[in-house]
Structure 1
Amino acid sequence: MAPVNRVYAAQLAGLPVFGPDGESIGKVRDLVVGLRLDQLPPRVLGLVVELATRRRVFVPMLRVTAIEPNAVTLGSGSVNMRRFHQRPNEVLVLGQLFDARAWLAETGTRVTVVDAAMEPTRTRDWVLARLAIREPRGRLGLARRRSPLRVVPWDEVAGLGLTDLTGQPQGAGQLLMLFDTMRAVDVAATLRDLPLKRRHEVADAMDDERLADVLEELPEEDQKELVGYLADERAADILEAMNPDDAADLLSELAPAEQNRLLELMHPDESEPVKRLLEYSADTAGGLMTPEPVVLTPDATVAEALAHIRNPDLTTALASMVFVCRPPSATPTGRYVGCVHFQRLLREPPAELVAAAADTDLPALRPSASLAEVTRYFAAYNLACAPVVDAEDHLVGAVTVDDVLDHLLPEGWRETGLHDVGTEPSEEDERA
């Protein structure tokens, strides 16, 4: 195979990383470069690799033995398994360089960086040798036409020093394009690693639905910081787009005055279920539940039930079960009849009524049930979703197994990830 002599950062993003024996290591999430005081191309120090445990680690370029269109391969040698932390002289190519505004050194023409290419040197180092740039729209009267992409050597572009990148507004178009291919939990992890200013720029550029999904995956402190940054009206819109139980969890961490202010700005139809959840302690079934499970009346058919659980917006856990209740079907519902697991639905004739297939013997959780009781319940009945019914026999919500796990894991698990079993950290990461 011919040696690779130019690799673009956007092509590297998300590529799987394999060890010397073909074992899966993780995925590339960014490139780390060390900026220089002169105009020479900066050295590529290494890759930020996200392990299967969500931990992000630094992998020096000297450990990379092959870069192919569909994978990156590492050679033998130790790698520091501590969580990656950016150093003062370092820049993240995807996180900070993409969408940076600069100018051509010779003409002074304003440009935006949309990609960057690294090339190997004779000493086995890699340098960020070229930049893909685009001039702003509207030059020479072409207000609506997109200007062509150009690839130029690094030293032809000025305004990309460390102080430039940390002080100027950037926009987030290219970064959001990369985020489109990533799950919300992966976007959240990337967002956490960005400098605060850059994180805010990305949040400003995201649409409300996407930001709501990402916000649900952030640790509590990062959620609070981001909500505090957003204007109250937009923060309320984001809360409306979140799952009610996640919105309630976030609001419960805020000061009462801020909590009440945001609830008042939310639409009443969206704030009402959140207010009901806030009445329960966070470590009870009522505090864990979502008020929006799949609820059907007894005269609904199996075909209708299957159509409801095909909704792509439902989580896997919520789609695993439908609940049969007397009208009204919005929580708190009429009298709770029973539940039907989706596997049972698959075995029944489409025209059969769901009431005939409902499990009426499965006990329901009470809103006051403790986390320990909820955990034992899930273990005993092997469920992914469970009904929560009040003393008047009304379905008030459903608890899903992912919310139970979220509360059982150690505090701060989103920040630290899970430690790699049998891996010793290396003190040297070759970033000097």
Structure 2
Amino acid sequence: MSTATRVYVARIAGIPVFDPNGDQVGRTRDAVARERTGTLAPRIIGLVAEMPLRRRIFLPIGRITAIEADAVMLGTGTLNLRRFEKRPGELLVLEELLDRRVTVAASGTSATVVDVAMESDRLGDWSLTRVAVREYTGRLTRRGHLRQLEWSEVRGLSGHADQQGTAGMLALFQDMRPADLANALQDLDESRRFEVAAALDDERLADVLEELPEQDQIGILAALNPERAADVLEEMNPDDAADLLAELPAGEQEALLELMEPAEATPVRQLLAHPEGTAGSVMTSEPVIMAPDNTVAEALARIREPQLAPAVAAQVFVARPPMATPTGRYLGMVFFQRLLREPPSALLGGILDSDIDPLEPAAPLAEITQRMATYNLVAWPVVDAQDRLVGAVTVDDVLDHLLPRDWRDREHAGAADE
């Protein structure tokens, strides 16, 4: 092991794990402890690491040669890549202890767990030894006192938590990409998942919902009050919100649409009106749309906006006013590579690519994928019978509908890999 004999688990969450060759194999997500009888503190038996493709595996503590502030090092040997599953008598330190409401034994004061330390003895065995807690002072104007206590000095660390907050978990998740956070939420038990999801702000929760399997999306949405659920749906991309609402009974679907702002609900309603498996049902109704008299410089500024997905920002669709879908007459598209080659003052109307025949809203998925594969495009315009642009099908929309419906499900992924 490393020279460090005490490690606070929350501080190493998310740091990279390296094999003996110096290659990164994943990132730490938690520590696994085995509970012991009496007053003995749980013994650490390993770490949980997240590997590429969203797989969590178990790293036995004996395989770990060093735990530093910014890295975990592994010794030689073969890793067991089977998906980690907690066994009876085991404890996931961060998931189950962080934010837990406990009692300081000496004073009877209520406190919240903010971190837990694991420490090695002279034989190299690791145990949970100290607990960092924040005591409640009862004063609204002051934060509670932060204290470090021995494991035996804190009550309420064993068994099911009567109360567990979310502040510590949210801090751990703060810098995660939405897909990684969605992955982490799937690893929590259902009640904990709903608590953490509800504590996210509307925009963050919307981004995460778009990365979750349908059953988890529905469960989290149902756990929110209807007004909050409508606010979150407003923050989602219209096509993703439509996909989620399509899984709900008609009455619940309409109730949520009524609670949404009309301007946000309208494009979602339009998408829901198209038959499943058609261009109209999978398209995004908010591609980048500009007028023919806009300049190259204006177009480049538009596609640089950070909230745009790469597939959406890869081209600009040009149409007559109005610019919101359904637009005026669709004229053509300009790829971002062409924008880079033209003078900033050039007008979009003069550099259009109008040779690409748009899709009709009723075009089936097979036709869409064939066209994209033939012409190597990442987005395709969709127009109605009046030649108005109503949306664009992007490559990520197509992939979402070509893959099995449960491709985001961790259980499905784990079974497929084994």
Shorter-chain-normalised TM-score: which range?
A: over 0.9
- After superposition, the Cα gap between the structure-2 partners of 1:405 and 1:207, relative to the gap in structure 1 and judged at 3 Å, is same
SS in 2 for 1:162: coil
Shift of 1:82: 2.5
Aligned-partner Cα distance in 2 for 1:358–1:125: 68
Q: Which amino acid aligns with 2:268?
A: V
1:81 aligns with: 81
Distance 1:419 1:221, change over 3 A: closer
Q: Which residue of 1 aligns with 2:61?
A: 61
Shift of 1:420: 11
1:324/1:354 contact within 8 Å kept:
yes
Kept in 2: contact 1:333–1:394 (CA 8 A): yes
SS at structure 2 position matched to 1:103: strand
Q: State the Cα distance separating 1:85 from its structure 2 match.
A: 2.2
* Residue in structure 2 matched with residue 407 of structure 1 by the alignment: 401
Task: Say what the alpha-carbon RMSD is for the aligned residues.
Answer: 1.9
| 1:96 alignment counterpart | 96
Deviates more, 1:15-24 or 1:313-322: 15-24
Structure-2-length-normalised TM-score: 0.95
- Show structure 1 runs of 5+ residues with no match: 426-432
Higher RCO structure (Cα 8 Å, ≥6 apart): 1
In the alignment, residue 264 of structure 1 is paired with which amino acid?
E
The 1:420/1:66 distance shift into structure 2, 3 A limit, reads farther
Matching residue of 2:154: 157
Q: Distance in 1 between matches of 2:159 and 2:276?
A: 43
Q: Give, in whole Å, the separation in 2 of the partners of 1:287 and 1:317.
A: 18
Match of 1:332 in 2: 326
Q: Deviations over 1:104-153 (max 9, x none)?
A: 111111111111111113343221111111112x44x4x32223422221
Distance 2:392 2:112 in 1: 48
8 Å Cα contact 2:2/2:67 also seen in 1: no
Q: Does 1:388 align with 2:382?
A: yes
Q: Does 1:344 align with 2:341?
A: no
Which amino acid letter does the alignment assign opposite residue 229 of structure 1? Answer: A
Quick one: distance in 2 between partners of 1:240 and 1:270?
6
Give TM-score scaled by structure 1 length.
0.92
More displaced 10-residue stretch of structure 1: 348-357 or 183-192 = 348-357
Summarize deviations over 1:260-281 as a string: whole Å, max 9, x none. Answer: 1111111111111001111123
Matched, 1:13 2:25: no
- Whether the 8 Å CA contact 1:388–1:396 is kept in 2: the answer is yes
Amino acid in structure 1 at the alignment position of 2:33: V
Distance (whole Å) between structure 2 residues aligned to residue 48 and residue 2 of structure 1: 18
The percent of aligned pairs where both chains have the same amino acid is 55
Deviation at 1:179, TM superposition (A): 1.1
Query: 1:428 is matched with which residue?
Result: none
Tell me the secondary structure at the aligned position of residue 414 of structure 1: coil
On the 8 A contact 1:35/1:162 being kept in 2, the answer is no
Moved more, 209-218 or 62-71: 62-71
Match of 1:52 in 2: 52
Q: Deviations over 1:5-37 (max 9, x none)?
A: 111112211111122222321111122222334
Give the 3 Å change call, closer, same or farther, for CA 191–21 of structure 1 in structure 2. same
Structure 1 residues 2 and 204, CA, compared in 2 at 3 Å: closer, same or farther? Answer: closer
> 387-396 or 39-48, which moves further after superposition?
39-48
2:306 counterpart residue number: 312
Secondary structure of the structure 1 residue equivalent to 2:393:
strand
The aligned amino acid for 1:401 is V
Confirm or deny that 1:354 pairs with 2:351.
Answer: no
Structure 2 gaps of 5+ residues are: none
* Map of 1:4 onto structure 2: 4
Contact 1:170–1:201, Cα closer than 8 Å, also in 2: no
1:121 aligns with 2:121: yes
Per-residue CA deviations over 1:264-313 (Å, capped at 9, x if unaligned) read 11111111100111112332211111101111011111111111111111
2:375 is equivalent to residue 378 of structure 1: no
| SS at 2:409 equivalent | helix
Shift of residue 403, structure 1, vs aligned partner: 1.7
Report how far residue 86 of structure 1 moved: 2.5
1:202 corresponds to which residue? Answer: 196
Distance 1:420 1:78 in 2: 21
Per-residue CA deviation, residues 57-91 of structure 1 (Å, 9 max, x unaligned), is 22221221221222212223344323222334333
Whether 1:184 aligns to 2:192 is no
Residue-pair matches, total: 417
